[in-house]
Chains A and B, each alone.
Chain A
């Protein structure tokens, strides 16, 4: 199946099997390994990417379903060497321990702040409940989201 996807702002064409997962396309063919495999069944959120600006689980999306659409991975978030405010906030608040869940969390956080620029703690917890972290107990992650929201409001 021939498909065309805009990945991190660049148009790319692929010839894929219909059962190819977006996760595997992104990792194995584009070498964008910041998107992580954690469970493969939509439980952990480590593979979260944006599809036309909305957070989706790349292990739950077929590559062919991304045809003609725009995909943003964690590699497309920073502006060159300048980190995104959400990335900065995660570092500053110590929200990263092993870091494996971090790309998924950052993609979910960006989607949240796009929908709701000033979320309450309850709204943050609700939005991020599909992203799973085994290291942090979520404390510094919640703080990072609050801090990122403040940064983005200027």
Chain B
């Protein structure tokens, strides 16, 4: 994107993991003609960049520009100049005097007495809170009788540590801001929510909402990294308001990798089971390394326990979750929002427990899974609903048949260089944060639809499509309801000024929740079409029927059995115009009454080279229950991509820090952050994806989500396959060749 008279912005970032700025001299940059922005020049507002939770559940510790940076890469200043090169030169001319403070890079270390406090005070809504032991927030939940766990025949307790992963979305975080003559601004940015972007900019800069226009633009991947308003957006607005010129600000890849990452988690999990193959209960301690700021740590603490207790029936459950500050890049949602992490742990331990009580791991899962009629925690303890559709059994039994599960290898019988193993893992994710009652999470959307004078339709929605095919699904839902072809429904480019509120494209809610709004608005427009048609045909609106006429390429409304009583949409719209009846149009908001889980299950075969420690994929069978499959090809595409990201999480990705200078060990280079290429994935013939035959009663035409469930079970499944090959379990991700070789050396000498 570009505009006439546009400036290029660059952000001045802290080179220290924790410091106080004693002085900043921007005169050198200004002498070069650059517009500069310092912490004193932006509103002194402490905010949370993610506005999905209600205010009483929103912790705030961010500033647009800070004079006390808490991680390498935090924004402390900015410049705008005529070219990116000039802006960079101006940035380098700014002189900053720092007082360097102590820093911590590990969640457990950070909580210890004597560790440097990272934030002294933060806000919860408008209340000032004192931070103790660097714990930003915490959550404790207990249900059931602890005796259940005490009476268990087998109990396992282990500590697990997940990796720190970078989204590596192809498009780096970017924004264009244009100041408008009326004092407002227009914004084009990498975002999953245009309305929450507007809300935050209003909160920070005090511009009336109607004068902030945030436009939908295509997004080059996101995977949760733009549920929150990215820091570049708030900085660029400051630059544009000061310079009164359009400002474009795009992060380089090296900046982007120091901008966001997934939550690294440390779990202490205790699970108990009875000899009869039933789970007794469990206790989970979760320490979330949230980095230097809270983006959505508190709701995540709720989700972690929710994901844990919704996989399998636990008569007793006890949970303590702590979100711990460290001097690292702030963590945010990454496809699955904690679910891939906890599912890896639970699925690993389920296999181990099954082994101890002598039950097949697949049967153990079938004995204990949470399914139809059970309570599901869709987004932590405040978002619950009853499961009304469940394909778990179909997924597991069909998959088991396809891979001849019960004849898989025995690790103890394998001794050669190459060893093969099969793993099973299951998971799910919520579809939206809908529920019968309000919760601490906002989840509703909306849409507008109107019939054009040629019998086609314009559909307008604030819901962002990241490339998951969400808007394609909406179009199909609208077209199905109105009995027209999909190409007769146009998606209109939109912004905050032309749409009603939609919370965000996240939580696998695009098809289920957003599609619910699309269906509701289509039903309203259909009612109006029936009314108009009733008048024209002299028939009762509720009695007329609608069909699509391929010859006329029009939907036709007709009174059944009465010859000649039919009229096309085009004729209806024309008549309505000529007779001044108005437009068949509607605008609706919609809140889903449920948060149905979409279920997934994987069977994976790997081959481990015991000489090099390399793990090779041999075969994958993936089953998914997503209710009615609206976009079969694109839904399968979600499974393919989810699997690849899960595979990458299991064996490749991590972002270690150099404690000497607090920067990433890879210095921001993606050459040293490997993700899978075409060569790392398996051949087409070795991958099978199938969908369970289910129907979700609350979903649009029976549909549920798929985006996140596609990823969540993968790490557990692959880890179990590696165990089946080697007879070794791993308690830290990623399972790298070095870790495999070390484990083999320990086991076999």
Q: Which residue of A lies closest to B2 (CB)?
A: A31
Tell me if B170 and A137 are in contact (CB < 8 A): no
Tell me if B684 and A137 are in contact (CB < 8 A): no
Q: Which of A1-60 contact B (CB under 8 A)?
A: 28, 31, 33, 36-41, 43-44, 46
Q: Which residue of A lies closest to B633 (CB)?
A: A94
Tell me if A139 and B220 are in contact (CB < 8 A): no
User: A44-B670, A135-B467, A143-B684 given as contacts; is B218 within 8 A of A99 (CB)?
Assistant: yes
Q: With A129-B677, A137-B643 given, can you name 18 additional A-B contacts, CB distance below 8 Å?
A: A28-B2, A36-B170, A38-B170, A39-B670, A94-B469, A100-B170, A100-B220, A100-B221, A130-B677, A132-B170, A134-B169, A134-B675, A137-B645, A138-B640, A139-B640, A139-B687, A140-B633, A140-B637
**Does A128 belong to the interface (CB within 8 Å)?**
yes
Q: Which residues of B contact A40 (CB under 8 A)?
A: 252-253
Give the complex CA separation of A97 and B223 in angstroms: 12
- The size class of the interface chain B forms with chain A is 35 or more
Q: Which residues of B contact A43 (CB under 8 A)?
A: 670-671
Q: Which of B656-684 contact A (CB under 8 A)?
A: 669-671, 675-679, 681, 683-684
Contact sample, A vs B, 12 pairs, CB 8 Å cutoff:
A37-B250, A38-B170, A41-B669, A44-B170, A94-B634, A97-B641, A99-B218, A129-B677, A136-B640, A137-B642, A138-B681, A139-B637
Q: Which of A115-141 contact B (CB under 8 A)?
A: 121, 124-126, 128-141
Q: Which residues of B contact A31 (CB under 8 A)?
A: 2
Tell me if A99 and B220 are in contact (CB < 8 A): yes
Q: Which residues of B contact A28 (CB under 8 A)?
A: 2
Give the complex CA separation of A124 and B634 in angstroms: 22
Give the complex CA separation of A46 and B168 in angstroms: 13
**Does A142 belong to the interface (CB within 8 Å)?**
yes
**Does A101 belong to the interface (CB within 8 Å)?**
yes
Q: Which residue of B lies closest to A133 (CB)?
A: B170
Contact of A129 among B169, B170, B641, B678 (CB under 8 A): B678
Q: Which residues of B contact A141 (CB under 8 A)?
A: 678
* Closest-CB distance, A70 to chain B (whole angstroms): 25
**Does B30 belong to the interface (CB within 8 Å)?**
no
Q: Which residue of A lies closest to B170 (CB)?
A: A100
**Does B187 belong to the interface (CB within 8 Å)?**
no
**Does B468 belong to the interface (CB within 8 Å)?**
yes
Contact of A41 among B167, B671, B687 (CB under 8 A): B671
Which of B466, B644, B669 is the most central at the interface, judged by chain A CB atoms within 10 Å of its CB? B644
Q: Which residues of A contact B253 (CB under 8 A)?
A: 38-41
A interface with B by C-beta (< 8 Å): 28, 31, 33, 36-41, 43-44, 46, 93-94, 96-101, 121, 124-126, 128-143
Q: Please encode chain B, from 507 to 544, with 1 for each CB lying within 8 Å of some chain A CB and 0 for all others.
A: 00000000000000000000000000000000000000
Give the complex CA separation of A29 and B44 in angstroms: 38
Q: Which residues of B contact A121 (CB under 8 A)?
A: 683-684
Give the complex CA separation of A58 and B462 in angstroms: 35
**Does B219 belong to the interface (CB within 8 Å)?**
yes
Tell me if A129 and B467 are in contact (CB < 8 A): no
Tell me if B675 and A132 are in contact (CB < 8 A): yes
Q: Which of B166-197 contact A (CB under 8 A)?
A: 167-172
* Closest-CB distance, A102 to chain B (whole angstroms): 10
Q: Which residues of B contact A131 (CB under 8 A)?
A: 678
Q: Which residues of A contact B221 (CB under 8 A)?
A: 97-98, 100, 134-135
Q: Which residue of B lies closest to A95 (CB)?
A: B637
Tell me if B170 and A46 are in contact (CB < 8 A): yes
Tell me if B679 and A129 are in contact (CB < 8 A): yes
Give the 5 A-B CB pairs with smallest separation, nearest first.
Answer: A100-B220, A98-B467, A137-B644, A137-B640, A97-B467
Q: Which of B1-22 contact A (CB under 8 A)?
A: 1-2
Interface class of chain A by DSSP: loop
Give the complex CA separation of A140 and B467 in angstroms: 14
Q: Which residues of A contact B468 (CB under 8 A)?
A: 97
User: A98-B466, A139-B684 given as contacts; is B675 within 8 A of A126 (CB)?
Assistant: no
Q: Which residue of B lies closest to A27 (CB)?
A: B2
Give the complex CA separation of A132 and B671 in angstroms: 12
Tell me if B467 and A126 are in contact (CB < 8 A): no
* Closest-CB distance, A63 to chain B (whole angstroms): 14
Give the complex CA separation of A129 and B684 in angstroms: 16
Q: Which residues of A contact B684 (CB under 8 A)?
A: 121, 139, 142-143
* Closest-CB distance, A18 to chain B (whole angstroms): 13
Give the complex CA separation of A32 and B167 in angstroms: 26
Q: Which residues of A contact B172 (CB under 8 A)?
A: 37-38
* Closest-CB distance, B183 to chain A (whole angstroms): 30
Q: Which residues of B contact A94 (CB under 8 A)?
A: 469, 633-634, 636-637
Q: Which residue of A lies closest to B674 (CB)?
A: A43
Tell me if B223 and A134 are in contact (CB < 8 A): yes
* Closest-CB distance, B713 to chain A (whole angstroms): 15
Q: Which residues of A contact B676 (CB under 8 A)?
A: 137-138
Tell me if B633 and A125 are in contact (CB < 8 A): no
Which of A33, A39, A43, A129 is the most central at the interface, judged by chain B CB atoms within 10 Å of its CB? A39
Tell me if B637 and A101 are in contact (CB < 8 A): no
Tell me if A125 and B634 are in contact (CB < 8 A): no
Q: Which residue of B lies closest to A17 (CB)?
A: B85
Tell me if B168 and A134 are in contact (CB < 8 A): yes
Q: Which residue of A lies closest to B219 (CB)?
A: A98
Q: Which residue of A lies closest to B635 (CB)?
A: A94
Q: Which residue of B lies closest to A24 (CB)?
A: B84
Give the complex CA separation of A100 and B219 in angstroms: 8
* Closest-CB distance, A1 to chain B (whole angstroms): 16
Q: Which residues of A contact B642 (CB under 8 A)?
A: 137
* Closest-CB distance, A139 to chain B (whole angstroms): 4
Contact of B679 among A97, A125, A134 (CB under 8 A): A125
Give the complex CA separation of A94 and B677 in angstroms: 18
Tell me if A97 and B637 are in contact (CB < 8 A): yes
Q: Which residues of A contact B169 (CB under 8 A)?
A: 98, 100, 134
Tell me if A134 and B170 are in contact (CB < 8 A): yes
Give the complex CA separation of A99 and B468 in angstroms: 10
Q: Which residues of B contact A44 (CB under 8 A)?
A: 170, 670
Tell me if B170 and A139 are in contact (CB < 8 A): no
Tell me if B681 and A137 are in contact (CB < 8 A): yes
Q: Which residues of B contact A130 (CB under 8 A)?
A: 677
Q: Which residues of A contact B223 (CB under 8 A)?
A: 134
User: A44-B670, A139-B640, A142-B684 given as contacts; is B171 within 8 A of A100 (CB)?
Assistant: yes
Q: Which residues of A contact B170 (CB under 8 A)?
A: 36, 38, 44, 46, 98, 100-101, 132-134
Contact of A128 among B171, B640, B678 (CB under 8 A): B678
Tell me if A99 and B252 are in contact (CB < 8 A): no
Give the complex CA separation of A53 and B223 in angstroms: 35
Give the complex CA separation of A126 and B170 in angstroms: 21
Give the complex CA separation of A57 and B138 in angstroms: 48
Tell me if A135 and B641 are in contact (CB < 8 A): yes
Tell me if B644 and A138 are in contact (CB < 8 A): yes
Which of A133, A139, A142 is the most central at the interface, judged by chain B CB atoms within 10 Å of its CB? A139
Q: Which residue of B lies closest to A136 (CB)?
A: B641
